[in-house]
């Protein structure tokens, strides 16, 4: 019961804070920074808000889960960014003390330490369970999960290390330490997200494994919408169409290619079901009743069934 309440509170607070960052980044930037802000700040903060909204989905979905390994991921999904944010905070306080008011830095320091202690205690109290299953025959799916983890770490670490280099040809405004800090925070969120796909490899329940795909869908769609929003709202801060497309690739971390199909399937859904069913591995799949079917490896496959197969590879 306590775990369920903690994860519910976490998801609500994360969603609300992410929504504020996404919808009102100019207000947040104006309050936090001691320097004037521009559309690039607001875009990066909006992307961070989208990442926080995506991270709120995991504890919300797993708050009533009976699988302890899935709750372990929810705790680690908060512990990792808390540690990284503390490092950024100490760096900011020592290297650029005039960037953010020391009063705000102190508040954020205590909040991060309190959050870190809370989730570490929750993690230890839960037993720090990890999954014990690995579907070795599902090579495509396992490869996609691992690719997502590697991409999260590689792109997130690049944003943390050289944010100004990533931004300098994608924007037309002078960049300073405030832009770098926003980019590093976004990189920290990318790095932290690797934990979901990494642990999902070892979860026995396919429904739980889909959490990694669902979180990435929400994250990518949020960042893509933020990029389009920024391109329209701040035309003086961003270059033309070609660089806009390039910046989408850089800002929106490339997830598995099946994310689009997963989202398409979630929109379409099965229209009706018949009694015919099939098994692939240990997962039971029902066929939907449509007009044409293909006989493939002894399965009667229709369009929705093919989409379910694609989803099973994620």
Q: What is the pLDDT of residue 99?
A: 93
Three-class secondary structure of residue 137 per DSSP: coil
pLDDT at 247: 60
pLDDT at 118 (0 to 100): 95
> What is the end-to-end Cα distance of the chain in Å, rounded?
31
pTM score, whole prediction: 0.79
Pick out the chain residues at pLDDT < 50: 253-314
Q: How far is CA 240 from CA 175, 188, 221, 252, 301, in A?
A: 18, 28, 21, 18, 44
pLDDT of residue 250: 54
For residues 300 and 310, give the distance between their C-alpha atoms in angstroms, rounded to a whole number. 15
Distance CA 252, CA 269 (A): 26
Q: What is the structure's pLDDT at 307? A: 41
pLDDT of residue 189: 95
Q: What is the pLDDT of residue 255?
A: 42
Nearest residue to 184 (alpha-carbon basis) of 168, 162, 152, 167: 162
């Amino acid at each position: 019961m306590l775990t369920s309440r903690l994860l519910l509170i976490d998801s609500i607070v994360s969603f609300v804070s992410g929504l504020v960052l996404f919808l009102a980044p100019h207000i947040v930037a104006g309050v936090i920074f001691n320097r004037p802000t521009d559309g690039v700040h607001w875009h990066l903060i909006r992307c961070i808000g989208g990442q926080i909204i995506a991270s709120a989905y995991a504890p919300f979905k797993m708050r009533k889960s009976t699988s302890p390994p899935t709750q372990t991921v929810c705790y680690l999904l908060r512990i990792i960014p808390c540690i990284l944010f503390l490092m950024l905070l100490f760096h900011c306080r020592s290297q650029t003390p005039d960037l953010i008011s020391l009063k705000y830095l102190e508040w954020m320091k205590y909040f991060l330490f309190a959050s870190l202690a809370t989730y570490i205690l929750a993690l230890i109290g839960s037993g720090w369970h990890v999954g014990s299953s690995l579907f070795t025959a599902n090579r495509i799916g396992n490869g996609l999960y691992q690719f997502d983890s590697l991409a999260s770490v590689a792109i997130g670490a690049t944003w943390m290390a050289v944010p100004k280099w990533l931004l300098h040809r994608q924007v037309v405004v002078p960049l300073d330490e405030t832009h770098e800090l926003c980019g590093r925070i976004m990189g920290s969120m990318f790095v932290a997200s690797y934990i979901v796909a990494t642990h999902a490899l070892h979860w026995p329940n396919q429904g739980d494994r889909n959490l990694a795909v669902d979180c990435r869908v929400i994250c990518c769609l949020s960042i893509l919408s933020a990029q389009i929003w920024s391109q329209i709202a701040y035309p003086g801060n961003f270059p033309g169409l070609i660089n806009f497309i390039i910046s989408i690739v850089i800002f929106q971390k490339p997830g598995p290619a099946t994310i689009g199909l997963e989202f398409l399937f979630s929109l379409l859904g099965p229209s009706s079901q018949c009694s015919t069913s099939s098994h692939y591995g240990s997962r039971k799949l029902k066929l939907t009743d449509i007009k044409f079917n293909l006989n493939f490896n002894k399965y009667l496959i229709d369009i929705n069934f093919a989409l379910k197969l694609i989803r099973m590879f994620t």
